[in-house]
Amino acid sequence: MKDLKGKVALVTGGSRGIGAAIVRRLAGDGARVAFTYTRSEDKAEAVVESVRAAGGDALAIRADNRDPDAVRASVESTVAHFGRLDILVNSAGIFHTGDIGDFSLEDVQQTLDINVRAPFLATSAAAGHLPEGGRIITIGSNLAQRVPWPGISLYAMSKAALIGFTKGVARDLGPRGINVNVVHPGSTDTDMNPASGELADFQRDTMAIRRYSEPEEVAALVAWLAGPESRSVTGAELTTDNGSNA
């Protein structure tokens, strides 16, 4: 099935982890996919090559999500290269942990710049290009809904902001037939939070089904939201966390 054939997608933070899995899945479903990365050019090129090897088309765009001009420019570069934009996936994120009294102002600013301001700017820039049937999908976190252990107040705050943002933009763009949703992954096996890490068992203890998600499982949910079967779903939170928040 090539449900996304003829579509163009932009994925922020697509060079590794969940973002890279989303790039590969959307490309596998027929979309031409641009994605941003900040530093890891070798990883970005590896994603491009894997997509092309599978018969797809991908474009890597270096863009620091702390730079407002770079965020907006990534949207324009996608449209200039592929001629259109149908799907935006806000996937880039950062995760600072610590006691509430220990965060520096730089920690706070960096988290808000990347986790909140960048999705706002990318969405604002993309909105002018998206046609009827367009999709905006933002990667949140199950920690935006429930915080089961200390040390993640800053991260949880930033991801919770995306819930209200998603619902508001769904109302803004609904009259144009554009769907806007947020996906909340739980613990997912990536290099940032490996299933074999020292805190993995602690995280598994919070789950109804005691297993880490794979990035490809999150990507599958994003692909469904990007496809035609989800056209009645907007302003929604979809959680994929093996029941941690049950």
User: What dihedral angle (degrees, nearest 10) is formed by the CA atoms of 165, 107, 61, 129?
Assistant: 20
Cβ atoms of 110 and 96 within 8 Å: the answer is yes
For 56-118, the DSSP string reads: --EEEEE--TT-HHHHHHHHHHHHHHHS---EEEE---------TTT--HHHHHHHHIIIIIH
Q: Which structure tokens are listed for 90?
A: 């806000």
Helix or strand holding residue 11 (H, E): strand 8-11
| Active site (catalytic) residues | 155
Find the distance separating the first CA and the last CA of the chain, reported in whole Å: 33
